[in-house]
Amino acid sequence: MNEATRQGAEALRRVVGEANVGELSFPTSVDASRRVMKAVENPDLGLSDLAKIVVAEPLLSAKVIRLANSVALNPTNQTVRDVKQAVMRVGMDPIKSLAMVLVMDQLRQSQRHSGTRELSNRLWERSIHVAALSFVVARKLTRLNADEAMFAGIVHDLGRFYLLSRAADYPALLEDPVVLAETVNDLADRAGAMVFAKLDLPESVVKAVLSARHYSGSMPPATLGDLIFVASALSPRADPFDELDARIVVPENRAVALGLDQSTVAEVVTASGDEIYSIVIALES
C-alpha cells in the first residue's frame, strides 16, 4: 500500500468515525424517493392518497406497475395498466421497498469515478437478487413478513453504497481495489447504522441487517437476519467486496459450505425461478 492510498483509507475512516447522523448527506435526486418513504410511514395514509403520491413520481410509477404485473404478484396474468390499480395490488410496504430501490439507484448513478462505478453496479445487482430471494424464501418457507424481508434485502448493503459515494473523494484509495474493499468492509456496519438512522428505517429491519453476517444455522430461517444471510448465500451475484478482501475466504459454493439444507431451499428456489426473476426485473429496470 503506497502512502497516498493509506492516507485515503485513513481519511475515509475519519469521515465515518467522526461523523454524526445529521452530517450525512445524499444527492438531491434522492429527496423525492425519501419523501415517498416518509409518506408511506403515515398510518393515516390511504391507498388512494398513496396512488396520488406515486403518480407524481414517474420512475416510481413505472416500477409499481411493473411489480404489480410480475409473476409473483400477478399469478392470474390480469394485466394492470394504471397506477391506482397497481398501488391497490402491490400495497404500501412493497412501495416503500420500491422507493428505497430508487434511493439506492440514485446513489449508484451519482458515482463520479469509474473506480466506484463498477463496484457500485455489481453491488446493486447483488442487492436486487438478495431482495428477490428474501421475498420468495420468506413467503414459501417461513412465517416471516415477505414484504419486510424484501425491504431488508434491498437495504442490507446500503452502508457500503454510501461509503462508495464518499470514497470517490479520495482518488488514490480507488487505485487499490483491495484496500478499498477492506476499508469499506471495516466501516460497513457503522456507516449502515448511521444511514439507517438518517432515513429513520424500522428498528426490526436495522437489527436484522446488522446481524445478517452471522447465521444461527436454523432452517428454515427463524429470523429476518438469518433470512438475509441465506438469501445472500444463495444469490447468483457474488459479493464484489468479499471477493477483493483477502481476509475473507469465500467458498466456491457458499450455500453448501455453510450447511444450508439444499434439498429444501434449492427446490423452492428452482420452483420459484419465474417469481424471483420477475421481481428482479421489476426492481432493477
- pTM of structure: 0.82
Contacts of 118 (CB under 8 A, 6+ apart): none
Domains of the chain: 3-284 (1.10.3210.10)
What is the rounded average pLDDT of the residues 146-153? 91
Q: Tens of pLDDT along 171-225?
A: 888 889 999 999 999 999 999 988 888 888 888 899 999 888 888 877 778 899 9
Q: Which of 240, 214, 27 is nearest to 122 (CA)?
A: 240
Please tell me the total number of residues recorded for the chain in this structure.
285
Mean pLDDT check: name the lowest of 10-14, 58-62, 143-147. Answer: 58-62
Distance CA 84, CA 61 (A): 9
C-alpha cell of 57? 413520481
Q: Tens of pLDDT along 5-57?
A: 888 898 888 888 877 766 666 665 667 777 777 777 787 888 888 888 888 88
Contacts of 65 (CB under 8 A, 6+ apart): 80, 81, 82, 83, 86
Give the mean pLDDT of the chain.
Answer: 82
